Amino acid sequence: MSDTDGKKPLGLGGGAGKRPGQVKQSFSHGRTNTVVVETKRKRVVVPKPGTAGGAAGGGSASHLGDPSKRPAGISDAEMERRLAALRAAKAREAEDTARRAEEERQREEDRQRRREEIEAKEREEREREAAIKARQEEEERQARAEAEAKAAAAAQRKADILGTKSRAQIQREQEEARAAAEAAKPAAKSREAAPAAPATEEEARGAAKQPATTVSPRKTDREREERDRDRGAKGKGDDGRRSGKLTLTAALDGEGGRTRSLAAMKRKQEKARNKAMGFGQKAEKQARDVQLPETIVVSELANRMAERAADVVKALMKMGMMVNMNQTIDADTAEIIIEDFGHRAVRVSDSDVEQVIDTVEDKAEDLESRPPIVTIMGHVDHGKTSLLDAIRKANVVSGEAGGITQHIGAYQVKTPNGSLVSFLDTPGHAAFTSMRARGAQVTDIVILVVAADDAVMPQTIEAIAHAKAAKVPMIVAINKCDKPDANPQKVRTDLLQHEVVVEAMSGDVQDVEVSAKTGKGLNDLLEAIALQAEILELKANPNRPAMGAVIEAKLDVGRGPVATVLVQNGTLKRGDIFVVGEKWGKVRALINDKGETVTEAGPSVPVEVLGLNGTPEAGDVLNVVSTEAQAREIADYREQAAKDKRAAAGAATTLEQLMAKAKADADVAELPVLVKADVQGSAEAIVQALEKIGNDEVRVRVLHYGVGAITDTDVGLAEASNAPIIGFNVRANATARNAAQQKGVEIRYYSIIYDLIDDIKSAASGLLKAEVRENFIGYAQIKEVFRITGAGNVAGCIVTEGVARRSAGVRLLRDNVVIHEGTLKTLKRFKDEVKEVQSGQECGMAFERYEDIRAGDVIEIFEREEVQRSLA
């Protein structure tokens, strides 16, 4: 602030006219300062008439030449000189005046020219604004057209999805819409660029305006000269700054004004458009075919009609239906609305959306043989896991590149004769059945593992039943043949009882003696598989959109949802758009069982698929579709259908059902739990095992199960139902941990399924009502009954058996019939109150609130004991 000199010119405007020597400065942020400046006045010398030596005076030169009027003491020569000087001065003056007049004229011309320039600019400006406006209107029109085109395209796409239009047609329409959008873009761009231009022009105008406004004709030439000098000294900076300042203000004003006017214009257009889009515009509206499923969300209905949701809601309200745009209405109501709006309703079934999934039968010539998919089943501890490992390891040793295998739920091996076999490495029946329950029959061949040192066991029988139910051929692998007590023959004969006749018993089921431990017979097993596959003539068409089944799915921390898919037909490629169960996605990456990234996976190849929008479930079927919209629509439809199904299952509809449910609920104590596991297979196995726990009185209810870390949503759910959370090979995230601590939700971690089941079993046992057992501790015979005032009837007895205890329960038996049960008021031995009276001794007993006692009655003395039970 102190260097006023430097800043002085900043704000001369205000101060200049006020007081000489004081200048008011204005700085940025509105601060001002008044400073005193030294002003140097130009001395103007005006010679007074009669004053000697007034060279530049206003006196006439003629009288100076007159010696009579000449001041005394001035010589002629002197006079001459003075006259000459006077003439020269006069001439100069005349010259000066002429120059000044000339300058003035030029300035005037200048001003005129600038005025004209400004006017021209303003005219130009106005024209340009008009042009912008026109352009904008044009653009609006285009945008509207584009929106309509888009809506039409969307409607057509839906039509296509619902099977009424060819895909090519849609694509064409979409392309048209896109082209329209492209055409609209340059216009938008030029408009964006437009505001920049006026700014510079504004500047120019400001700069042009400035001299015209600041140069006042009243100002003296000298002042002007001074200013010009000043400006010269400060150089362009001053000019630039001043014009900058002016320009800024002008620009702000100008811009503000324009923006305001543009905004106003936009608002106006918006209003007009809204009005046009409403009911008023029926005339130019096109009637559409609106696909109408059984139920529809109001906003979606509006979307399909290309109407505003608010208008649809309004129309519904007029019909007396108070709904919002997110609510679902039935098809009948929707149809009335559609007709109200002047469209046509086309009723479709919801499930029609699934029709886009390519279900064309493959032609025989397109089919190529594919590797068999094998599942290993058998009783626990008969060596399923060992066998899978042994086969995999043998395969790795036999020269597969990489060598490191990944557990992705399945793997492929090469048999000695070079053919491929795909193994599902999630042994057990749960996976097999739950996948089958979901409609995914993945397995071509079941290997039934039976330990040669054991026999056919319950789960062996179960496995046989599953394989038969699924009509999947079996190969019997008689395992542990390395053991000294191995008896393969016994296994064969045992199997006969279950209608499995192996080849050795002249049946048609192949049997192979193997040892997972020594590796014996593994190649024979692979060969048997290859042979069986040959018989099955397994074929697929690799040249079509892929179809496959999820065999495992998990939520990976780094990679997001990951599903292992076994391709069953076609070829799954990177970039494919697919729907899988209630989820959908676009293949971001494919990773094979060796952990290698591959670009595609053909029939019978297991691959990890990345790029899903959520974790699907094992057994979900994957289908490649052509567009994301289709995938999303199908997934949404399935999700809704599943939700409805769950809701229907959960809601008891009739009163009887409700009552039955309430009764059942009242009788059975439930242990609610939440299960989170690392993989879908484990989660399902745990749930199935848990649901088996319990009896008529107690049961475990799995509120929810899923794959992935324990989140605070899980904790919330658990809290609401007072349930513990079971984490199998997963952990709670930090927020969930905190939430659990706050809400007192128990989280238990397990990595061994048996431990988990045992714990839950004992927890469920805790819910069993304790059994109350009665122990008879003694009997007493009443000999006499005394009536004692204040104490009532007192029995004089003899303890015949055991002990009489004061705290115990008593029953009064008359002729072996219980006529009263209660407690003792007193137990006396002679006159003293005692706690216990032994057998053979006499005592006095009185009942609490019971008087009807007679000689000859028997008193039974018992104690109750609560016995905690446990689930078997």
Binding site: which residues? 378-385, 425-429, 479-482
Closest approach, Cβ 502 to ligand GDP, in A, equals 18
Distance between CA atoms of residues 449 and 671, nearest Å: 36
In the bound state with ligand GDP, the residue whose beta carbon lies nearer, of 480 and 492, is 480
Binding mask 325-364 for ligand GDP (x = CB under 6 A): ----------------------------------------
DSSP for 248-278, written as a single string:
HHHHHHHHHHHHHHHHHHHHHHHHHHHHHHS
Does residue 377 sit in helix, strand or coil?
strand
Binding piece for ligand GDP, criterion CB under 6 A, among 27-35, 478-486, 597-605, 697-705: 478-486
Number of residues that bind ligand GDP (CB under 6 A): 16
Task: Give yes or no for residue 426 binding ligand GDP (CB under 6 A).
Answer: no
Task: Give yes or no for residue 407 binding ligand GDP (CB under 6 A).
Answer: no
Binding piece for ligand GDP, criterion CB under 6 A, among 233-241, 327-335, 515-523, 683-691: 515-523
Give the residue closest to ligand GDP by C-beta.
Answer: 383
Does residue 554 sit in helix, strand or coil?
strand
CA 360 from centroid of its chain's CA atoms: 35
Helix, strand, coil tally for the chain in percent (to 5) = 45, 25, 30
- Give the largest CA-CA distance in the chain: 184
Phi, psi of 26 (to 5 degrees): -120, 130
Binding piece for ligand GDP, criterion CB under 6 A, among 5-13, 476-484, 614-622, 665-673: 476-484
Task: Give yes or no for residue 482 binding ligand GDP (CB under 6 A).
Answer: yes
Does residue 708 sit in helix, strand or coil?
coil
In the bound state with ligand GDP, the residue whose beta carbon lies nearer, of 345 and 446, is 446
Closest approach, Cβ 422 to ligand GDP, in A, equals 19
Task: Give yes or no for residue 393 binding ligand GDP (CB under 6 A).
Answer: no
Closest approach, Cβ 521 to ligand GDP, in A, equals 9
**Structural tokens at position 149:** 């085109």
Q: Which of 480, 492, 554, 805 binds ligand GDP (CB under 6 A)?
A: 480
In the bound state with ligand GDP, the residue whose beta carbon lies nearer, of 136 and 426, is 426
Task: Give yes or no for residue 384 binding ligand GDP (CB under 6 A).
Answer: yes
Written in H, E and C, the secondary structure of 582-627 is CEEEEEEEEECCCCCEECEECCCCEEEEEEECCCCCCCCEEEEECC
In the bound state with ligand GDP, the residue whose beta carbon lies nearer, of 483 and 632, is 483
In the bound state with ligand GDP, the residue whose beta carbon lies nearer, of 371 and 378, is 378
Beta-bridge partner residues of 824: 847
Task: Give yes or no for residue 299 binding ligand GDP (CB under 6 A).
Answer: no
Q: Looking at the chain, how many residues does it have? A: 872
In the bound state with ligand GDP, the residue whose beta carbon lies nearer, of 486 and 555, is 486
Closest approach, Cβ 516 to ligand GDP, in A, equals 4
Task: Give yes or no for residue 466 binding ligand GDP (CB under 6 A).
Answer: no
In the bound state with ligand GDP, the residue whose beta carbon lies nearer, of 591 and 686, is 686
Task: Give yes or no for residue 148 binding ligand GDP (CB under 6 A).
Answer: no
Binding piece for ligand GDP, criterion CB under 6 A, among 190-198, 384-392, 584-592, 743-751: 384-392
Q: Which of 15, 206, 383, 409 binds ligand GDP (CB under 6 A)?
A: 383
Does residue 821 sit in helix, strand or coil?
strand
Q: Which of 26, 385, 523, 839 binds ligand GDP (CB under 6 A)?
A: 385
Q: For the chain, what is the total number of helices (H) and then of strands (E)?
A: 22, 35
Query: Scanning residues 216 to 255, which ones bind ligand GDP (CB under 6 A)?
Result: none
**Residue 834 · residue 799 · CB < 8 Å:** no
Closest approach, Cβ 604 to ligand GDP, in A, equals 24
- What's the number of CA atoms in the CB half-sphere (13 Å) around residue 557? 8
Distance between CA atoms of residues 682 and 72, nearest Å: 136
In the bound state with ligand GDP, the residue whose beta carbon lies nearer, of 329 and 467, is 467
Binding piece for ligand GDP, criterion CB under 6 A, among 189-197, 211-219, 475-483, 570-578: 475-483
As a whole number of Å, the CA-based R_g of the chain is 51
DSSP-derived secondary structure letter, 59? S
In the bound state with ligand GDP, the residue whose beta carbon lies nearer, of 382 and 828, is 382
Distance between CA atoms of residues 860 and 818, nearest Å: 9
Phi, psi of 368 (to 5 degrees): -125, 155
Closest approach, Cβ 520 to ligand GDP, in A, equals 8
Q: Which of 179, 197, 272, 380 binds ligand GDP (CB under 6 A)?
A: 380
Binding mask 45-84 for ligand GDP (x = CB under 6 A): ----------------------------------------
Closest approach, Cβ 515 to ligand GDP, in A, equals 4
512, 507, 549: which is closest to 529 by C-alpha?
Answer: 512
Task: Give yes or no for residue 392 binding ligand GDP (CB under 6 A).
Answer: no
Distance between CA atoms of residues 23 and 553, nearest Å: 81
Query: Scanning residues 85 to 104, which ones bind ligand GDP (CB under 6 A)?
Result: none
Positions at the binding site for GTP:
378-385, 425-429, 479-482
Q: Which of 386, 627, 640, 826 binds ligand GDP (CB under 6 A)?
A: 386
DSSP-derived secondary structure letter, 353? G
424, 374, 391, 376: which is closest to 519 by C-alpha?
Answer: 391
End-to-end CA, the chain = 93
**Residue 667 · residue 655 · CB < 8 Å:** no
Task: Give yes or no for residue 510 binding ligand GDP (CB under 6 A).
Answer: no
**Residue 549 · residue 568 · CB < 8 Å:** yes
- What's the number of CA atoms in the CB half-sphere (13 Å) around residue 583? 23
**Continuous segment of H or E residues that includes residue 345:** strand 344-347
Binding piece for ligand GDP, criterion CB under 6 A, among 327-335, 381-389, 760-768, 821-829: 381-389
Q: Which of 479, 564, 592, 680 binds ligand GDP (CB under 6 A)?
A: 479
In the bound state with ligand GDP, the residue whose beta carbon lies nearer, of 611 and 681, is 681
**Residue 466 · residue 430 · CB < 8 Å:** no
DSSP-derived secondary structure letter, 284? G
Does residue 832 sit in helix, strand or coil?
strand
Task: Give yes or no for residue 429 binding ligand GDP (CB under 6 A).
Answer: no
Task: Give yes or no for residue 594 binding ligand GDP (CB under 6 A).
Answer: no
Binding site for ligand GDP (CB under 6 A): 378, 380-386, 427, 479-480, 482-483, 515-517
